[in-house]
């Protein structure tokens, strides 16, 4: 199974334009994307969607990252799934 990691536009701006989050966070998300995808559960608000979250610690900072996947975008011919990074919350 291949996981296509997609950043929400606002999340991407926070990483690459504003520098709000360390780029090492993206590396950690990418390294765990398969396990994160497998941990997603059905989104009760939207049929055909999966959602979930994961915790990360990067450079002494703590983050909760929210993920979603639209099952309608799955590509069975290449066994590719999408994993969207929707929101990142930093906490202590």
Extended strands (E) in the chain: 2-7, 41-42, 49-58, 61-70, 80-91
Q: Helices 9-16 and 23-39, interaxial angle, to 10°?
A: 150
Q: How far apart are CA 11 and CA 74, in angstroms?
A: 22
Say how many CA atoms lie within 13 Å of 44 toward its Cβ: 0
Distance CA 4, CA 91 (A): 27
Residue 11: the pLDDT is 97
Q: What is the mean predicted confidence (pLDDT) over 66-86? A: 94
Task: Find all residues with CB under 8 Å of 33, minimum gap 6, and list them.
Answer: 3, 5, 83
Q: What percent of the chain has pLDDT over 70?
A: 100
pLDDT for residue 19: 93
Q: What percent of the chain has pLDDT above 90? A: 90
């Amino acid at each position: 199974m291949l996981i296509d990691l997609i950043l929400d536009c606002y999340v991407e701006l926070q990483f690459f334009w504003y520098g709000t989050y360390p780029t090492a966070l993206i590396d950690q998300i990418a390294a765990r994307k398969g396990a994160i995808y497998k941990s997603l559960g059905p989104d009760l608000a939207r049929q055909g969607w999966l959602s979930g979250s994961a915790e990360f610690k990067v450079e002494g900072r703590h983050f909760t990252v929210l993920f979603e996947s639209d099952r309608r975008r799955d590509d069975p011919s290449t066994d590719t799934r999408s994993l969207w990074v929707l929101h990142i919350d930093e906490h202590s």
